[in-house]
Structure 1
Amino acid sequence: MTISYVVCGDGPDVLLVHAGVADSRMWAQQVAELQGSHRVITLDLRGYGETPLVPQYSAAGDVLEVLEEVGARDVVGVGASFGGYVVQQVASRRPELFSRLVLICAPTDNVEPDEKLRALWTEEEALLEAGDVDGATELTVRHWIGPDADDEARELLRVMQKHAYEVQLAAGDVDNEEWPVEPEKISAPVRLITGAHDYAFFTDSADYLAERLPSAERIELPWAGHLPTLERPAEALKLLS
């Protein structure tokens, strides 16, 4: 397997899947706090951190393969942003693996992005097409982390996102086979967390899921942007527990 993953600690299984502007380093503080009482599984999705890209792959399939390789069961699956979307795909196909899900500012199927987010993506794409990786990275740092984040969190985001851009640009065109998200099949309780300073797309996605999941808890954080566990890491465990 070419997926970089780490398993540490002992106890009930917790899976942490990073956001699409980050990598597994975003969970460093939570891993340090959880590993005394849980077996914590982190990984870098393809094109992030230590995991290379390949021409064809399935992010959801990769996550499921890691869970099977380590013998995970009764998993608390935590996903931030794109990582939350991947967790939904896996839980839709293999609901029996999970005891609970925590989806943080995660998109989902059948919800359209808002105009502000589309405009941001257009600006990002123009910068990358012009070869301005630093400009695209700074755009990410300005827009994807909330006002409560400190300088250390912003610098970590800068490092993670710049590395991801470099890996993904070097790889060229790739194909990620996405699995359908089927909320009605996700039997585990799901906590849906969004931030008041985030884009409407993620709030709309959480509301859509809350109406369709068999068991959902909805939390809106008035202080948060898109990455609340980085913005207020001291409060992260309360969000996950």
Structure 2
Amino acid sequence: MELFYEVEGNGVPIVMIHSGGVDSRVWRYMVPGLAKSFKVITFDGRGTGRSPAMQEPTSLVEDLRKLLEHLGLDLVTLVGHSIGGQVATDFALSYPSMVERLVVIAPSLTGFAYSQEFTKYIASVNAAAPDIARLVELSLAAPIYRATMASPHRSFLTEMHNHYMRRVFTEWRSFEVLWPEPPSIERLEKIAASTLFIQGTIEWPDMYNIAEHFKRVPAIRFAEIKGADHMLVLTHAEELADSIRQFCYS
């Protein structure tokens, strides 16, 4: 298995898929609590943390499938944050028999048309390349990081972001991610797994529009964490772990 992964605990397997701009260390505050009840698998997505760099167009969904096969797991709960939520959603649609429960935390969504506000922000960050310090500064200045950057987690998030940006601009040879077709936004009503959608209240307006689309999932419930921003996996780890635990036992 090419991807770096770690397994903690015993019981029903939960696979955690991290967001962009960080690596699997982002789950460090959630794993200990969850591992008391579940077998928790965390991994560094391709090009992040201790996993190999992107060298060619890559399917993150197929990377996940290969990891589960390597671990001998044929039925799991997926927990995905941001783009990790996008991967989890696409995986649940591509391999429905392998996903018992789906938890998406402030997810992105294939096929979703993002707002001009968001696309302008992304363009302004990308324009700073290859100045790593400036890329990190602009990226973390977004309003969706306001609570985290005012918290004790500021330095940890900044360090992970720096590590990610350095790898992207010194090691990656491809930036193309391959996604299943048709895009998941057109197929959400086909998700068979029981689903939990969690978000904070400090988010892009786009997140609320994505939540509206997820209402088409047949078996879904929604949870909102007041005062949390996009990195609620750091600032509200215990509350998130409790929500996941209750969802899995419901």
TM over 0.5: yes
Match in the other structure for 2:191: 186
Task: Map 1:7-46; keep pairs closer than 5 Å.
Answer: 7-46=7-46
For structure 2, which runs of at least 5 residues remain unmatched after alignment?
246-250
Q: Which amino acid aligns with 2:139?
A: T
CA drift at 1:151: 4.1
Distance in 2 between the 1:149 and 1:238 partners?
Answer: 24
Q: Which amino acid aligns with 1:47?
A: G
Match in the other structure for 2:239: 235
Match in the other structure for 1:62: 63
For structure 1, which runs of at least 5 residues remain unmatched after alignment?
none
Match in the other structure for 2:92: 91
3-state DSSP of counterpart to 2:128: helix
Q: 1:208 aligns with which of 210, 213, 216?
A: 213
Gap change, CA 1:62 and 1:159, over 3 Å in 2: same
Give deviations 1:79-130, integer Å, cap 9, x for gaps.
00000000111111111111211101101133211222112101101111xx
Q: Which amino acid aligns with 1:139?
A: L
Q: Does 1:137 align with 2:141?
A: no
Give deviations 1:46-79, integer Å, cap 9, x for gaps.
1111112221321110011111111224311100
Distance in 1 between the 2:37 and 2:13 partners?
Answer: 10
Identity of counterpart residues, as a percentage? 26
Q: CA RMSD in A?
A: 1.7
Q: Does 1:51 align with 2:51?
A: yes
3-state DSSP of counterpart to 1:25: helix
Give the conservation status (yes or no) of the 8 Å contact 1:9–1:38: yes
Match in the other structure for 1:162: 162
CA drift at 1:221: 2.6
Gap change, CA 1:110 and 1:178, over 3 Å in 2: closer
Distance in 2 between the 1:234 and 1:150 partners?
Answer: 19
Q: Which segment is superposed worse, 101-110 or 164-173?
A: 164-173
**Aligned residues, how many?**
238
Distance in 2 between the 1:111 and 1:57 partners?
Answer: 20
Q: Which amino acid aligns with 1:9?
A: G
TM-score scaled by structure 1? 0.92
Distance in 1 between the 2:65 and 2:117 partners?
Answer: 33
Match in the other structure for 1:105: 106
Distance in 2 between the 1:222 and 1:204 partners?
Answer: 18
Give the conservation status (yes or no) of the 8 Å contact 2:21–2:165: no
3-state DSSP of counterpart to 1:116: helix
Give the conservation status (yes or no) of the 8 Å contact 2:57–2:174: no
Provide runs of 4+ in structure 1 moved above 3 Å: 148-152
TM-score scaled by structure 2? 0.89
